[in-house]
Structure formats: C-alpha cells, structure tokens
Amino acid sequence: MELRSFPSPTLSEHLISCIVPSYIKTKNICKLNFEEKVTAMRRSFGQCWRLNLRCSANGDGASVLASNVHVREQQSCSNIPLHDARILYSVAPAMGHNKEYHPESNLRVPAIVNALEEFELTSKYCGLEVFEMQNFTTASVDDIARVHERAYVTGLEKTFQESLIAAGAGLSLVDSVVSASITSPNPPIGFALIRPPGHHAIPKGPMGFCVFGNIAVAARYAQHVHGLTRVLIIDFDVHHGNGTCDAFYDDPNVFFLSTHQVGSYPGTGKIEQVGQGSGEGTTLNLPLPGGSGDYVMRSAFNEVIAPCAQRFKPDIILVSAGYDAHVLDPLAGLQFTAGTYYMLASSIKQLAKELCKGRCVFFLEGGYNLQSLSHSVVDTFRAFLEQPSLAPQFDDPAILYEEPLSKAKQAIQKIKHLHSL
C-alpha cells in the first residue's frame, strides 16, 4: 500500500470527526424507563470521560489510581453505570481515507453501522445494554510510538489524523472496559468499529491496508497505563497479522495467537514461528488449509485457542476481528460463516469472563464483502448480548463445500505438539 494513493482528509471532515472532544454521550435512547438514568449518565460522562483509570501494578483490578492526562483536577466517576452495559462500541470510519474501487473502502464501517440499526442492536433499541462511545479522544504520538518508530509516525501527512482517531477509539474502549471491570463482575465487551485496519502495520511503516497497529498500540497502552501486564491477542483474520506478531515476537508478556489461511498474504505466520529470546513460546501461528470452515475453526478454538489462553492467564484479551475468512469474502479462500463468528465471539467472551474478569476488546480488521461483513458483526453483537444467532437467516449452506478435515487435523496436531498443548 502506498500512502500517497489516499487523499488527505479535508478540514470539514476533521471538524466532523471532532478530534479533540470534551465528552462522551449516549444517543438515540428511546425507552422511557431509561430516560432519567441516561440523563444522569450523560452528565457524569461529560465530567469524567478524560480520566484514565489506571489499575495498580499488580494488575488484578483491586486498587485504582485516577489520573487525568489532559485535565489536572481529579473527579469522581463512580456514578457512571457502566455495569448496565453489555457492549461498548466506538465508530471511526475514516471517510476521508479512501481510494475508488479499493476493497478497504470507506463503505465498510457505515455498512456495519447500518446493519446494527437494521437488526435493532443499537442503544435506540437496546437501552443501556449497547452503548456507543462518541467523540472519543485521539491517540497521542507517544501512544503510537510505543510500537512504531517515531520517524514513521511523525512523517505521515495523509490519513494521519484519521489513523490517530482509529487508534484512539481502541484506547478509549480499553479505558472504559478496565474501569467497568473494577466495579462489576460482568463488564461490557468493547468493539472498535474502526478503519484503517492495523494488524499488518510494522514498526517502520505501513503495510497491506494498515497504517498504525491499532491492537498493538492498545496492548502497550493496557500495560503502561493500566498495569495489565499479560495481554493475549487473538487474531482470526484470514491473513496473518505480521505487524502485531513482529511487535511482540520477543515479549513474554504478550501472547500473540493467529489463525489464518496458509499461503495467503503476506506469506508470514509459519507454524514454526513461536517467538524468540524471552518471548519464545508466546507466539502461536496456526495456518489453516484453504476451504477450512466452521468445523475446523471450532476444533482450533477448543483444542488450541482455549488451552493456550487458560495456560497463559491473561489480564486482558484483545481480538483482531477480521471478517475476511467468510466464504463470501473476495480476498481469500476460507469458508467461515456468520455462525462461525457468533461461535468465536461467544467463546472468547466466556474465556475473558473466566480468565481476566471479562476484560475484552475487539478491533475491526479485514472483511470486504459488505453484506457478509455487516451480517457477521451483527451476529457478533448478538453473541455478546447472548441473543440467538441469526446465522440460519444469514448463511446459505448450499454454497459451502467439504472442508479439508484431514489437513486441518494435521496442522492442529502439529501445533499442539509444538506448544505442548
């Protein structure tokens, strides 16, 4: 990807994006029995959204230090009813970051938002259970430079502000999810509906369709700001998250686990790549044969992902949620369905509840068929809310073909042996 191919955002687009906002608000809540509570929530968020709630270094959430990075005075956020929410999501569509006919287009996030509205999964229909964080803060250059070389970060001119906003959306969700986990046994799950995606971006520069490594930046942020030392990153995008992998390849405190199609772009993610130095063993790459679908992914989750997570015992789980492994996606050759993504969302949510007090944030990565992308995210939200899957409505079994079970089983057995699972 060449950065010069993307037009610079206009001033009006920056103003619309509200790069430096002063509050978080809820919108479109129409249920009368929530009206009084929502009014109080808006007032509280207006006072408190800039606070970074930092867990103590022990990472267990038992004690909290309130530190305001931008506003010096400390204020109480105890009356923000985050415990009522089951999903927190943020939207950063980067409308100015676009090239005609490019698959990573500015239609992707709006398609998801429209589908959430169509299937009544916004706060307009769900009340306080689904909460959209608006006008979130922008990631700072220092936040980004914990992963990327500063010369690359400061050298960007085009897409720079929109990429900061995308990264900042993830950081704001980490703040809120961590904060909620301190006071509630069932904190909401976060989902950053953002672009540009991030998992291919390497420390020295952009790659693929990615500018900044949004999830890698969030992992370092969780460690440095919230004291959450052990971070598990699950990447189920059809392509290997080489940038995320590189960022933590020698880090024993970040476990990077990727499932991806064997031989797909960018050609990295070999099964033998397990980390190096003190980080040896905390990278797991599981290339899946072309044609792998729901059955193979369920087996991979049960036999590889869950055991790894249980052994690693993370303080937070971050997810590179790529929806380009869907059978209808044009850029690859796996055959996941909306039902596959429902299973993954439900299972990861349960893992987070068991292992790290429910702390979990999803980050949108790939997914280039607008219908399968939006339907899969809808079913992800429904899994978070423990609503029945709409896969029977979304998926057409007639287009599926036999999965390469023998090849997939060999890969799973090899990875289990390699990582002593």
C-alpha–C-alpha distance, residues 70 and 282, integer Å = 35
Let me know if 260 is a catalytic residue. Answer: no
Picking from 283, 284, 358, the residue whose alpha carbon sits closest to that of residue 315 is 358
Torsion angles phi and psi, residue 305, rounded to 5: -65, -50
| Neighbouring-strand partners of residue 91 | 193
Catalytically annotated residue among 199, 200, 260, 375? 200
> How many CB atoms within 10 Å of residue 398?
5
The three state secondary structure string of the chain is: CCHHHCCCCCHHHHHHHCCCCCCCCCCCCCCHHHHHHHHHHHHHHHHHCCEEEEECCCCCCCCEEEEECCCCCCCCCCCCCHHHCCEEEEEECCCCCCCCCCCCCCCHHHHHHHHHHHCCCCHHHHHHHEEEECCCCCCCHHHHHCCCCHHHHHHCCCCHHHHHHHHHHHHHHHHHHHHHHHHCCCCCEEEEEECCCCCCCECCECECCECCCHHHHHHHHHHHHHCCCCEEEEECCCCCCHHHHHHCCCCCCEEEEEEEECCCCCCCCCCCCCCCHHHCCCEEEEEECCCCEHHHHHHHHHHHHHHHHHHHCCCEEEEEECCCCECCCCCCCCEECHHHHHHHHHHHHHHHHHHCCCCEEEEECCCCCHHHHHHHHHHHHHHHCCCCCCHHHHCCHHHCCCCCHHHHHHHHHHHHHHCCC
Do the Cβ atoms of 231 and 247 come closer than 8 Å?
A: no
Do the Cβ atoms of 358 and 82 come closer than 8 Å?
A: no
Which amino acids are annotated catalytic? 200
